[in-house]
């Protein structure tokens, strides 16, 4: 899994991941969110357009990231999930927690 972190405006971090978000790579997502929030970028967008697969560990990392961001007074939003990711969100009822935005740019209107 590869990822990049962009900071398009003050207080916002856009994390772009490619590959599989699973038990092997989920710790990297947790770490990236934690680092961003610690640096004062408490509004976090996880761009999932390059994620081909997510499992329960990946979903857990997203939930952990949401908690981390909210505890710091921010929020975590997801952008551009593919059909497999949407299905996992639906099957776990997490689409109620995570609103999927069409793109990272529209998640916080950056």
CATH, residue 43: 3.30.750.24
Domain coverage including residue 82:
2-107
86 with 100: CB under 8 angstroms?
yes
pLDDT of res. 1: 75
pLDDT tens-digit map of 46-97: 999 999 999 999 999 999 999 999 999 999 999 999 999 999 999 999 999 9
Domain count, the chain: 1
Question: pTM for the complete prediction?
Answer: 0.93
pLDDT reading at 36 higher than 70 = yes
């Amino acid at each position: 899994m590869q990822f990049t972190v962009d900071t398009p405006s003050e207080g916002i971090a856009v994390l772009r991941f490619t590959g599989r978000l699973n038990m092997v790579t989920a710790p990297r997502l947790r770490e990236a969110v934690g680092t961003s929030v610690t640096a004062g970028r408490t509004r976090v967008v996880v761009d999932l357009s390059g994620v081909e697969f997510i499992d329960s560990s990946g979903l857990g990392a997203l939930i952990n990231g949401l908690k981390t961001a909210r505890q710091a007074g921010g929020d975590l939003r997801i952008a551009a999930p593919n059909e497999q990711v949407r299905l996992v969100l639906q099957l776990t009822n997490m689409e109620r927690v995570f609103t999927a935005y069409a793109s990272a740019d529209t998640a916080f209107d950056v």
